[in-house]
């Protein structure tokens, strides 16, 4: 089954527009597809329009960054785009991000880099400004040799020019998605860096708030990790999903679409398709 339930557009840190992504999904003949931008749903109505135009089976999505000791993102599917509580929470995060970008410019300037916020905004070309756009400006001005150096030295988590995101608690993210009529799913669980026992405890806790699924199939998951996460899903009653985390040119080693044969995944897709 060809599908992809985890991808990013120019409205977060991807490089393709919603229309370009929908056309790519059509070209690959995906069974089901979703754009899951970070902490916003700005691409969704546009994506739905083009999905209808080009006859692509599309469901709404997003990816919420949450507060945890390691990277912990919650994916949400089939969300209502007009839910007031969800939109208010996302606006708060976006307002913080705008101020965060100013603070990151100040840090870079203090390190001797002659770059402005206007340059970064122009690099984003009207899209949501994020760290990849800072990296591109640093690269264009010759301060770094490539994107990896920009992140490894300056922009990555914990580096000298990084300002942490405003994040909400995992249980709050699950509730926001659930209350917006959606299906909350743990994204790329390998990055949680938890043992089976620890992850099981976390899953059982979040199920009390409405957790629905876990992203078992992910390009960076090893075969042993896939088996572990799938076993965990069976034991705890979670549904399983699959996504590439496609970012376009920002992650050139990842292509859109995954080809998975799994009866449990088929059951998940049947439920998501009912919406």
Classify residue 95: in a domain, yes or no.
no
Range 63-74 average pLDDT: 95
Do both 65 and 139 map to the same domain?
no
Same-domain check for residues 74 and 115: no
pLDDT value of residue 98? 80
CB atoms within 10 A of CB 2: 15
pTM as predicted:
0.86
Number of H helices, E strands in the chain: 10, 7
| Dist. CA 17–CA 79, nearest whole Å | 20
Instruction: Look up the CATH number of the domain holding residue 185.
Output: 3.20.20.140
Read off the pLDDT of residues 186-214 as tens digits, 9 standing for 90 and up: 999 999 999 999 999 999 999 999 999 99
176 in the same domain as 74: yes
| Residue 94 belongs to some domain of the structure | no
Amino acid 124: pLDDT: 82
pLDDT at 178 over 90: yes
| Per-residue DSSP letter, 164 | P
Please report the DSSP string for 10-68 in residue order.
TTTT-SS-HHHHHHHHHHTT-SSB----BT--TTHHHHHHHHHHHT--B--EEEEEB-S
Domain encompassing residue 135:
100-155
Residue 274 pLDDT: 87
- The rounded mean pLDDT for the chain is 95
Please give the structure tokens belonging to residue 78. Answer: 């089939």
How far is 210 from 243, CA to CA, in rounded Å?
21
- The CATH number linked to 141 is 1.10.150.650
How many alpha carbons fall within 13 Å on the CB side of residue 144?
20
Q: Is residue 160 part of a domain?
A: no
Sign of CA dihedral 149, 222, 1, 42: negative
Q: How many domains does the chain have?
A: 2
Cα 117 to chain center, whole Å?
A: 24
Other beta carbons within 10 angstroms of residue 21's beta carbon come to: 29
The verdict on 78 and 196 lying in the same domain is yes
Residue 207 placed within a domain: yes
Return the number of other C-beta atoms located less than 10 Å from residue 179's C-beta.
16
Closest C-alpha to 3, from 178, 243, 204 = 243
pLDDT of residue 275: 65
Quote the CA–CA distance of 100 and 154 in Å, as a whole number. Answer: 15
């Amino acid at each position: 089954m060809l599908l992809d339930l985890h991808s990013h557009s120019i409205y977060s840190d991807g490089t393709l527009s919603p229309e370009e992504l929908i056309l790519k999904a059509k070209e690959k003949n995906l069974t089901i597809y979703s754009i899951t931008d970070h902490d916003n749903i700005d691409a969704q109505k546009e994506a739905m329009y083009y999905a209808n135009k080009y006859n692509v089976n599309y469901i709404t999505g997003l990816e919420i960054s949450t507060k945890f000791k390691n990277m912990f993102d919650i994916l949400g599917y089939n969300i209502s785009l007009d839910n007031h509580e969800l939109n208010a929470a996302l606006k708060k995060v976006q307002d913080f991000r705008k101020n965060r970008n100013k603070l990151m410019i100040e840090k870079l300037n203090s390190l001797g880099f002659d770059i402005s916020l206007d340059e970064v905004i122009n690099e984003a070309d009207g899209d949501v400004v994020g760290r990849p756009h800072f990296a591109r400006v640093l690269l264009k001005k010759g301060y770094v040799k490539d994107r990896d150096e920009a992140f490894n030295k300056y922009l990555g988590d914990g580096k000298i020019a990084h300002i942490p995101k405003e994040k909400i608690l995992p249980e709050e993210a699950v509730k926001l998605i659930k209350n917006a009529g959606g299906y909350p799913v743990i994204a790329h669980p390998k990055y949680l860096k938890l043992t089976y026992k620890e992850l099981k405890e976390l899953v059982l806790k979040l199920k009390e708030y409405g957790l629905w699924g876990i992203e078992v199939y992910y390009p960076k998951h090893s075969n042993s990790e896939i088996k572990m996460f799938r076993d965990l899903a069976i034991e705890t009653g979670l549904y399983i999903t699959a996504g590439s985390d496609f970012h376009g040119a920002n992650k050139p080693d990842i292509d859109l679409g995954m080809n998975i044969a799994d009866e449990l995944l088929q059951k998940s897709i049947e439920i998501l398709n009912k919406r």
